[in-house]
């Protein structure tokens, strides 16, 4: 599945920018506390985590483990109570709401579980939305590459209501990729899909990492989905308890079973 | 069900507020109008009863017919003073006293006329206080000498007069100075509806009003034990033909009714404005309920799934409408009472003092307010309620995405047909002219076409705006307008109604202004036109005599007016001097000639001659209210009466013989050859120093005056109509808020993928501007065409020219766009504050 050419191209781009991007995003001592005083609940408790560039990382954990909160904080959708989130060297806490919005637009990509697309826009318009919001013209070649990788070429003129759930999620992935982001965050991207479409989407995400050299972080509770990642991080009660590289479904299940006790 | 409906209503206080506001404005207008007119009617009744309190019988000349009080001031032929003694001799009479009234204009300390807007300025003999119960001296006492006067307390108060001051008063015959000896009140109020009054003793009054040896009426009080009706009959038996006796109660009722009739038109106009507000309001309500139902589709579907019948769903929504309608109706009623009080204070500010009484809230007003509130709301809610029953239970399980409005092909065609028919009708009306009812009908048909084709128009608007950068502001705004084309159309149409009427009025007013200018430049041949200042009743005929004696004046032609009947049709009849008539005005003689015009002859406008079926040489019967019928010969027909607003012109001697008032409505003057017009104006103004109530105008001044009074009227009408526009703007706010609420997830998504708050605000704002512009463009277009057609239809009323005020219309368009921006401020802010995390949270 690996296409060395594209990987090289990605590395080449990094060198041109004068820095080697070993880490796409990271959290340092990240704490998130909801409420105050006696009723305070720590959703994240001193989480430190590096997300290497060009890799596919899955974040797992039981309900209430803080995995969604971690992703929202990493993605600049939510703010930490203390600690740091760095996106390509930028400390999110130092940014204003507007600066964070623009960072999301230009350097991050999102795929949510459902309701990813604006119903009034066509697939193509949805894909180019972040570029359009920035007031730029989409890079024609990259747009073509993304569309072809996700096999959306003949769906571009359709509106979301005319697409299947799987197709809608692929459009969302394409939209997330259009700005060549530092990181693509996916929050249970297969949660609303049937098994076949889910597997198909995971393969596409895999090829996004392997063929396009992109960085993907996925929150999931499905061990099968996590098995597509290069690395799985397990969260319990707001803290990282395990890490697994080169995961298989069985090993993930085994750890989940252990953590569940 | 009731509890659920109530809870649904209270869920969104803002939505409730906007919906209620839309109905309340209209209802308060309706109830305010009723309360005001009922209160005034009640007050007039009380006032007239109060004034005639103590008078059991009134003796006066019998009018030939009851003319409109505004055209002849209620003047009847004076009767011989000797009749007072004759009446006093009738058995059962305790007191009998003659009285006279006439024109009397009080001047303030600076010599300026005291002339409250529109109200009469009159003088009267002050009779026996026992004969007019509510008539009281606030200060001082009765005038008894020829150099003494008593005036109404309000005028004294406003002009700062105190007892002993010297006061100048202008009469028909000229100006005189008096000493103030008393101030008069009428029951609780200090003036009679804002009129100024100067009171004199009877002999002085008779001399001042040129009625020596005459009285206008005789007031009689019965001896104890003698009934008013019995005494009336006894007196009537002794009276000659043409003189009648009435009971005091009858006179009070007639007087009050006459004033109320004159104010009836005012009530009707207010009700028309109320109707327009309600129509606009109903669009807003329709929209609100539509959105409300759309928003609650899942909830309705869930209820259907757990077993609610369609009927229950329908009743639930209608019950909500009923609650909103009743509440708004009640609120509108309350506000209406306040509004009535507000209008009263406003009238007081401009000098029309209404007699005070408690506000009259008749049962009819309460019923009307509640009925209007409930009916408008229910009718507007029926279609949305019906739509709610069509929600399938399955929808409870799906994600609630606002349904896209499917293009109704047949609806577009039907709308197109109506639009074409209506516009064709309007164009035909413009070409043919003089088609009032067809104009109104065509406008309504065109509007119906707009309503039916509305969604199509909204989609076209969206398509026109749908370009530029993909995903950029206009595109997303356009797509949102298109998605809910029906709602956008209804929102815009509320604005369309308001603007159509505002623009039609503006176009008509512009046409009228032009017509006035044309009438003056085309019909006038005089150098100077003298008119009463402000809303004065008239110019003393002494002024004309003064002018005739001057060397620098060649022609002096007086113009007088009164209400009369010509061949049985009520009309305003004018009179002018035959001598010099053709030199001061070009009446546009069509048949016959001015040479044969003089006593016994009448000039008739071509249109009226046609209506009456008479021609030159034929006879017409003119009936004067005071004196009865006279036969006159038609000397000529004319086509340009607009300048003097005349349909019939008599010779002055005929007029004077039949009308007591000698006041001139205007005097047209030609300077002697070789006199510089500006110098002439200056000299004559100086010579009329004793008549400060007369203005000397050049033809340009007249044009300007007439145009500014048209502008004033336009201002008042526009202000009233703006209320309807305000309701429409509330509708835009309403629609925007609801669509923002509906699209919370979309907005959150937009923010998540990098839309800044500013960009989100921009989308909402542009959506608002698109809807406003749709409403504005259709409203201005329809209003312009209707206005032109209306101006063409009113050619008889002096609309001889059609003018379209393009600058004003452009301003309306710009204002509408600005209104769109303003209406979007709140909703846009709300949209930009959407909580991203909550919006995108998976369920």
Token representation of residue B162: 């105190």
Q: Do B755 and A101 touch (CB under 8 A)?
A: yes
**Chain B nearest C-alpha distance from A132 (Å):** 6
Could you give the 3-state DSSP secondary structure of residue B407? coil
Whether B138 and chain A come into contact, CB under 8 Å, resolves to no
Arithmetic mean of pLDDT over chain B: 82
Domain termination residue (choose one: B365, B400, B435): B400
Q: Residue A128: which of B470, B756, B837 has the nearest Cβ?
A: B470
Here the contacts of B397-401 (C-beta below 8 Å, separation 24 or greater) are B397/B301, B399/A114, B399/A115, B400/B297, B400/B298, B401/A119, B401/A161
**What's the pLDDT tens digit per position in B612-637?**
888 888 999 998 888 888 899 999 99
Q: Do B482 and A120 touch (CB under 8 A)?
A: yes
Whether B744 and chain A come into contact, CB under 8 Å, resolves to no
CA dist B137 and B139 (Å) reads 5
Domain termination residue (choose one: B651, B667, B697): B697
Q: Closest-CA residue in chain A for B475?
A: A121
Question: Residue B440: inside a domain, yes or no?
Answer: yes
Distances in Å between the Cα of B246 and the Cα atoms of A11, B66, B236, B491 are: 112, 15, 9, 59
CA dihedral of residues B203, B209, B213, B214 (deg, nearest 10):
-120
Residues from chain B contacting residue A186 (CB–CB below 8 Å): none
Q: Closest-CA residue in chain A for B763?
A: A133
Q: Do B749 and A106 touch (CB under 8 A)?
A: no
**Chain B nearest C-alpha distance from A38 (Å):** 25
Q: Do B480 and A98 touch (CB under 8 A)?
A: no
Question: Residue B406: inside a domain, yes or no?
Answer: no
Token representation of residue B338: 């306040």
Question: Residue B37: inside a domain, yes or no?
Answer: yes
Q: Do B842 and A128 touch (CB under 8 A)?
A: no
Yes or no: say if B498 and B279 are a contact pair by the CB < 8 Å rule: no
Here the contacts of B266-269 (C-beta below 8 Å, separation 24 or greater) are B266/B37, B267/B33, B267/B36, B267/B37
**What's the pLDDT tens digit per position in B789-833?**
888 887 767 777 888 888 888 988 888 888 888 888 888 888 888
CA B193 to mean position of chain CA atoms: 18
Q: Closest-CA residue in chain A for B757?
A: A98
Domain that holds residue B464: 411-522+702-843
DSSP string, B443-510: HHHHHHHHHHHHHHHHHHHHHHH--SSTTSHHHHHHHHHHHTHHHHHHHHHHHHHHHHHHHHHHHHHH
B176 and B130 share one domain? yes
Q: Does residue A11 carry a pLDDT above 60?
A: no
B646 and B551 share one domain? yes
CA dihedral of residues B81, B83, B86, B91 (deg, nearest 10):
-110
User: B686: Cβ–Cβ under 8 A, 6 or more apart, which residues?
Assistant: none
Per-residue pLDDT, B179 = 94
B178 — pLDDT class (breaks 50, 70, 90)? very high
Q: Residue B837: which of A72, A105, A135 has the nearest Cβ?
A: A72
Residues from chain B contacting residue A113 (CB–CB below 8 Å): 842
**For B271, phi and psi rounded to 5 degrees?**
-65, -35
B837 and B711 share one domain? yes
ipTM, interface predicted TM-score of the complex: 0.82
Question: Which residues of A touch chain B, with CB atoms under 8 Å apart?
Answer: 72, 77-78, 97-98, 101-102, 104-106, 110, 112-121, 124-125, 128-130, 132-135, 161, 175, 187-188, 191-192
Could you give the 3-state DSSP secondary structure of residue B792? helix
- Domain boundaries A4-18+54-68+95-260, corresponding CATH code: 3.40.50.300
**What's the pLDDT tens digit per position in B6-30?**
666 556 666 677 778 777 877 887 7
Least confident residue range of B62-76, B258-272, B340-354:
B340-354
Per-residue pLDDT, B117 = 59
B371 and B330 share one domain? yes
User: B825: Cβ–Cβ under 8 A, 6 or more apart, which residues?
Assistant: none
Least confident residue range of B114-118, B317-321, B370-374, B748-752:
B114-118
Question: Residue B405: inside a domain, yes or no?
Answer: no
**Chain A nearest C-alpha distance from B388 (Å):** 22
B618 and B647 share one domain? yes
Question: Residue B752: inside a domain, yes or no?
Answer: yes
Domain termination residue (choose one: B646, B664, B697): B697
Whether B471 and chain A come into contact, CB under 8 Å, resolves to yes
Token representation of residue B592: 């016959």
Q: Does residue B357 carry a pLDDT above 70?
A: no
DSSP string, chain A: ---HHHHHHHHHHHHHTTS--SEEEEEEEEEEEES-GGG-EEEEEEEEEEEETT-EEEEE--TTSSHHHHHHHHTTSS--SEEEEEETTEEGGGS-HHHHHHHHHHHEEEE-SS--S-TTS-HHHHHTHHHHHHTPPPPHHHHHHHHHHTT-GGGTT--GGGS-HHHHHHHHHHHHHTT--SEEEEESTTTTS-HHHHHHHHHHHHHHHHHH---EEEE-S-HHHHTTSSEEEEEETTEEEEEEES--HHHHHHHHHHHH-
Q: Do A132 and B483 touch (CB under 8 A)?
A: no
B837 and B766 share one domain? yes
**Chain B nearest C-alpha distance from A64 (Å):** 14
- Count of domains forming chain B: 4
**What's the pLDDT tens digit per position in B322-354?**
888 888 888 888 888 888 777 777 666 655 556
Half-sphere exposure of B638 (CA within 13 A, CB side): 27
Ranges of each domain in chain A:
4-18+54-68+95-260
Per-residue pLDDT, B181 = 93
Per-residue pLDDT, B843 = 41
Question: Residue B223: inside a domain, yes or no?
Answer: yes
B258 and B161 share one domain? no
B466 and B362 share one domain? no
Q: Does residue B747 carry a pLDDT above 70?
A: yes
Q: Do B479 and A114 touch (CB under 8 A)?
A: no
B709 and B588 share one domain? no
Q: Do A113 and B837 touch (CB under 8 A)?
A: no
**What's the pLDDT tens digit per position in B314-327?**
888 888 888 888 88
Q: Where are the alpha helices (DSSP H) in B743-834?
A: 744-752, 757-793, 806-832
**What's the pLDDT tens digit per position in B440-457?**
888 889 888 888 888 888
CA dist B764 and B833 (Å) reads 12
Q: Do A132 and B840 touch (CB under 8 A)?
A: no
Whether B397 and chain A come into contact, CB under 8 Å, resolves to no
User: B464: Cβ–Cβ under 8 A, 6 or more apart, which residues?
Assistant: B478
């Amino acid at each position: 599945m690996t296409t060395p050419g594209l990987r090289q191209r990605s590395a080449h781009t990094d060198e041109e920018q004068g820095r080697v991007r070993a880490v796409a995003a990271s959290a340092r001592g990240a704490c998130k506390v909801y409420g105050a005083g006696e009723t305070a609940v720590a959703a994240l408790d001193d989480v430190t985590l590096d997300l290497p560039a060009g890799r596919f990382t899955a974040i797992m954990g039981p309900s209430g483990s803080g995995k969604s909160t971690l992703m929202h904080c990493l993605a600049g959708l939510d703010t930490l109570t203390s600690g740091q989130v760095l996106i390509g060297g930028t400390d999110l806490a130092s940014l204003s709401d507007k600066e964070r919005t623009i960072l999301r637009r230009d350097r991050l990509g999102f795929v949510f579980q459902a309701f990813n697309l604006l119903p009034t826009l066509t697939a193509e318009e949805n894909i180019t939305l972040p570029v359009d919001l920035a007031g730029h013209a989409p890079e024609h070649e990259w747009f073509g590459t993304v569309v072809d990788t996700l096999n959306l070429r003949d769906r571009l003129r359709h509106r979301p209501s005319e697409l299947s759930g799987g197709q809608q999620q692929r459009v969302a992935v394409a939209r997330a990729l259009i700005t060549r982001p530092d990181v693509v965050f996916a929050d249970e991207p297969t949660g609303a899909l049937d098994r076949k479409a889910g597997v198909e989407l995971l393969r596409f995400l895999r090829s996004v990492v392997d063929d396009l050299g992109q960085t993907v972080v996925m929150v999931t509770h499905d061990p099968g989905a996590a098995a597509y990642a290069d690395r799985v991080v397990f969260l319990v009660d707001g803290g990282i308890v395990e890490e697994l590289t080169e995961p298989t479904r069985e090993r993930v299940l085994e750890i989940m079973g252990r953590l569940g006790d | 069900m009731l509890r659920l409906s109530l809870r649904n209503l209270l869920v969104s206080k803002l939505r409730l507020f906007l919906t209620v506001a839309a109905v309340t404005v209209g209802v308060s207008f309706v109830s305010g109008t009723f309360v005001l007119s009922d209160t005034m009617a009640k007050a007039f009744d009380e006032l007239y009863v109060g004034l005639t309190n103590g008078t059991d019988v009134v003796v006066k000349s019998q009018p030939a017919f009851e003319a409109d009080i505004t055209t002849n001031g209620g003047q009847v032929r004076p009767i011989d003073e000797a009749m007072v003694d004759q009446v006093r001799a009738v058995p059962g009479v305790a007191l009998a006293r003659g009285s006279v009234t006439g024109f009397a204009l009080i001047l303030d300390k600076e010599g300026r006329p005291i002339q409250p807007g529109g109200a009469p300025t009159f003088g009267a003999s002050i009779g026996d206080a026992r004969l007019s119960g509510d008539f009281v001296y606030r200060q001082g006492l009765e005038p008894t000498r020829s150099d003494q006067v008593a005036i109404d307390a309000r005028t004294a108060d406003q002009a700062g007069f105190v007892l002993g001051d010297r006061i100048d008063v202008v009469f028909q015959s000229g100006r005189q100075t008096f000493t103030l000896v008393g101030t008069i009140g009428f029951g609780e109020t200090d003036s009679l509806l804002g009129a100024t009054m100067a009171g004199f003793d009877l002999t002085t009054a008779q001399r001042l009003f040129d009625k020596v040896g005459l009285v206008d009426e005789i007031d009689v009080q019965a001896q104890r034990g003698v009934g008013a009706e019995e005494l009336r009959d006894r007196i009537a038996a002794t009276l000659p033909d043409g003189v009648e006796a009435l009971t005091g109660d009858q006179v009070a009722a007639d007087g009050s009714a006459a004033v109320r009739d004159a104010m009836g038109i005012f009530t009707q106009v207010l009700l028309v404005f109320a109707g327009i507000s309600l129509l606009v309001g109903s669009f807003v309500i329709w929209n609100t309920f539509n959105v409300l139902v759309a928003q609650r589709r899942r909830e309705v579907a869930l209820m259907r799934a757990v077993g609610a019948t369609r009927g229950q769903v329908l009743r639930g929504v209608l019950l909500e409408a009923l609650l909103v309608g009743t509440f708004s109706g009640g609120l509108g009623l309350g506000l209406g009472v306040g509004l009535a009080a507000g209008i009263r204070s406003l009238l007081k500010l401009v000098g029309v003092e209404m007699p005070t009484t408690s506000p009259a809230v008749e049962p009819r007003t309460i019923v009307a307010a509640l009925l209007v509130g409930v009916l408008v709301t229910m009718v507007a809610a029926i279609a949305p309620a019906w739509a709610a029953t069509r929600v399938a239970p399955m929808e409870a399980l799906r994600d609630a995405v606002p349904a896209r409005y499917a293009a109704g092909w047949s609806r577009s065609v039907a709308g197109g047909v109506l639009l074409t028919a209506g516009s064709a009708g309007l164009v035909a009306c413009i070409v043919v002219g003089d088609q009032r009812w067809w104009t109104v009908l065509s406008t309504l048909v065109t509007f119906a076409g707009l309503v039916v084709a509305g969604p199509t128009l909204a989609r076209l608007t969206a398509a026109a705006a749908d370009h530029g950068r993909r995903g950029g502001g206009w595109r997303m705004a356009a797509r949102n307008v298109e998605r809910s084309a029906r709602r956008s159309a209804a929102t815009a149409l509320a604005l369309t109604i308001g603007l159509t009427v505002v623009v039609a009025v503006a176009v008509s007013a512009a046409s009228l202004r032009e017509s006035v200018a044309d009438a003056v430049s085309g019909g006038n041949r005089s150098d100077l036109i003298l008119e009463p200042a402000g809303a004065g009743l008239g110019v003393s005929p002494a002024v004309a005599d003064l002018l005739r004696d001057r060397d620098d004046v060649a022609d002096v032609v007086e113009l007088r007016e009164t209400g009369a009947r010509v061949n049985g049709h009520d009309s305003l009849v004018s009179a002018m001097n035959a001598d010099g008539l053709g030199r001061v005005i070009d009446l546009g003689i069509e048949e016959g000639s001015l040479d044969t015009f003089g006593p016994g002859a009448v000039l008739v406008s071509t249109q009226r001659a046609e209506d009456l079926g008479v021609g030159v040489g034929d006879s017409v019967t003119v009936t004067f209210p005071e004196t009865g019928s006279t036969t006159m010969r038609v000397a000529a027909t004319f086509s340009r009466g607009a300048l003097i607003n005349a349909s019939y012109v008599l010779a002055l001697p005929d007029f004077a013989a039949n009308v007591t008032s000698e006041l001139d409505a205007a005097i047209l003057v030609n300077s002697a050859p070789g006199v510089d017009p500006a110098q002439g104006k200056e000299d004559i103004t100086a010579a009329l120093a004793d008549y400060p109530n007369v203005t000397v105008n050049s033809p340009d001044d007249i044009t300007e005056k007439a145009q500014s009074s048209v502008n004033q009227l336009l201002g008042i009408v526009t202000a009233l109509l703006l209320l309807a526009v305000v309701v429409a703007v509330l509708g835009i706010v309403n629609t925007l808020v609801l669509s923002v609420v509906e699209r919370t997830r979309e907005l959150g998504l937009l923010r998540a993928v990098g839309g800044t708050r500013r960009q989100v605000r921009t989308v909402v704002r542009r959506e608002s501007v698109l809807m406003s512009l749709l409403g504005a463009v259709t409203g201005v277009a329809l209003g312009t065409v209707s206005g032109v057609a209306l101006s063409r239809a009113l050619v008889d009323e002096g609309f001889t020219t059609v003018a379209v005020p393009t600058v004003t219309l452009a301003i309306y368009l710009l204002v509408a766009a600005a209104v769109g921006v303003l209406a979007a401020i709140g909703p846009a802010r709300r949209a930009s504050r959407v909580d991203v995390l909550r919006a995108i949270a998976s369920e």
